Structure 1
Amino acid sequence: MQTTLDRPWTHRFEPGRDPEAPLLLLHGTGGDEADLLPLGRALSPGSALLSPRGPVSENGMPRFFRRLAEGVFDEADVRQRAEELAVFIAEARERYALAAPIAIGFSNGANIAAAVLLARPEALAGAALIRAMVPLSARQAEEERQQLAGKPVLLLSGAADPIVPAGNAAALARRLAAAGAAVEQETLPVGHGLTQADVALAQAWLRRIGKPSA
């Protein structure tokens, strides 16, 4: 079923057997609202799936926020889009009677999920961030301190990733931990693309935090 809420968020929603364990699926650059549905079903077959399309277009490719160059983000736009996504999540939760979701984000989708964790932590119950990098500067680090209050976060990085430097991914892990998140980071011997190893690790992480639904 494809619907659009009052805000400009084209999305897909698939009801699940367990409304207490929804997944928010956030695609990478060039993906759309259908892109990560198979991943969501594989990770947690009984979960409701909420999958929005990024509202920004870059040369015809959907994204969740603007960038100035590869790896250089428009931070004002990141903050605005994180706020808008948090509002979308709240509206979708009310419409579909959902608990706060766990975000499953890949690349650009992982970056906007990290931004929501830092800027609007109440919107998410946790997040699996696949190939994420620091989305926002640390100028508000004091305000972020302990705001995540033990929320589970999984970072899956690629040792051969040509887009996300290892130091940047490690900095994001430290930033989220400093904000109080229960962070687990795994670095795989892979590049930027999504792999079966990512799927297996995310499945195991969801089981550990008690969120999967069979």
Structure 2
Amino acid sequence: MRPLSFTHRYEPALTPDQPPLLLLHGTGGDENDLIPAGRMVASGAALLSPRGKVLENGMPRFFRRLAEGVFDEEDVKARANELADFVAEAREAYGLAAPIALGFSNGANIAAAMLVLRPETLAGAVLLRAMVPLSDPPRTDLTGKQVLMLSGAMDPLIPADNSSRLAAQLQGAGAEVKHTILPAGHGLSQQDLSLTQNWFLNL
């Protein structure tokens, strides 16, 4: 098999009835970061975990930013399309259905961008500590797509109105969004994992 366009890790499904997970790490993470979380929340699912191609001070990310919380939106668009193309390659190579994205921070933001730019790529998404990736997103139809958003009430990086705006954008496009604000900061908590696990059980 020819090499795919992203450095990645792939773990085959253990049970056939769960949708695959596309694991998208935060800044400074890599393709190994979210494998344990993926196994915890969807124990039998196939796991596809790419490494972001953008380096910020040596730390992998999925797109460039101009400053903390200020995204290079042209790069967001280009990288979201590039990642969507990789997902299509990987689906063909590994025989996968459309995955559900499980993204944290920068990974959640690129997942949100893929939802609005390439909605056919994802069956749904779990967005952990996500922000609005595009200030003026294109009109898109997300009818039937399930999205779980988990935000932190004490998150120093993401203003509460920003995550609420993203939830409203996705709902406005037809997605079924469950947005929960946890008593947490920017880091992931055990509550994030248990809520995500319950959400998967009820899909």
Short-chain TM bin: over 0.9
Measured in 2, the distance between the counterparts of 1:180 and 1:70 equals 30
TM-score, structure 1 length as denominator? 0.92
Which consecutive residues of structure 2, in runs of 5 or more, have no partner in the other structure?
Answer: none
CA drift of 1:13 comes to 0.2
Partner of 2:168: 174
Identity %: 65
Letter in 1 for 2:19: A
Partner of 1:16: 13
Measured in 2, the distance between the counterparts of 1:14 and 1:52 equals 12
Matching of residue 91 in structure 1 with residue 89 in structure 2: yes
Measured in 1, the distance between the counterparts of 2:186 and 2:123 equals 25
Selected match of 1:113 from 107, 111, 114: 111
TM-score, structure 2 length as denominator? 0.97
Partner of 1:184: 178
Kindly indicate whether the alpha-carbon contact (under 8 Å) linking 1:4 and 1:11 is maintained by their aligned counterparts in 2. Answer: no
Equivalences for 1:148-167 in 2 at 5 Å? Answer: 148-167=142-161
Partner of 1:137: 135
Kindly indicate whether the alpha-carbon contact (under 8 Å) linking 1:29 and 1:62 is maintained by their aligned counterparts in 2. Answer: yes
Partner of 1:47: 45
Partner of 1:101: 99
CA drift of 1:150 comes to 1.9
Question: How many matched pairs?
Answer: 201
Measured in 1, the distance between the counterparts of 2:11 and 2:199 equals 22
Kindly indicate whether the alpha-carbon contact (under 8 Å) linking 2:109 and 2:131 is maintained by their aligned counterparts in 1. Answer: yes
C-alpha RMSD of matched pairs (Å): 1.1
Distance 1:162 1:99, change over 3 A: same
Letter in 2 for 1:58: E
CA drift of 1:79 comes to 0.2
Equivalences for 1:24-39 in 2 at 5 Å? Answer: 24-39=22-37
Letter in 1 for 2:154: A
Partner of 1:81: 79
SS of equivalent to 1:135: coil
Measured in 2, the distance between the counterparts of 1:127 and 1:12 equals 19
SS of equivalent to 2:43: coil
Letter in 2 for 1:104: L
Which consecutive residues of structure 1, in runs of 5 or more, have no partner in the other structure?
Answer: 210-214
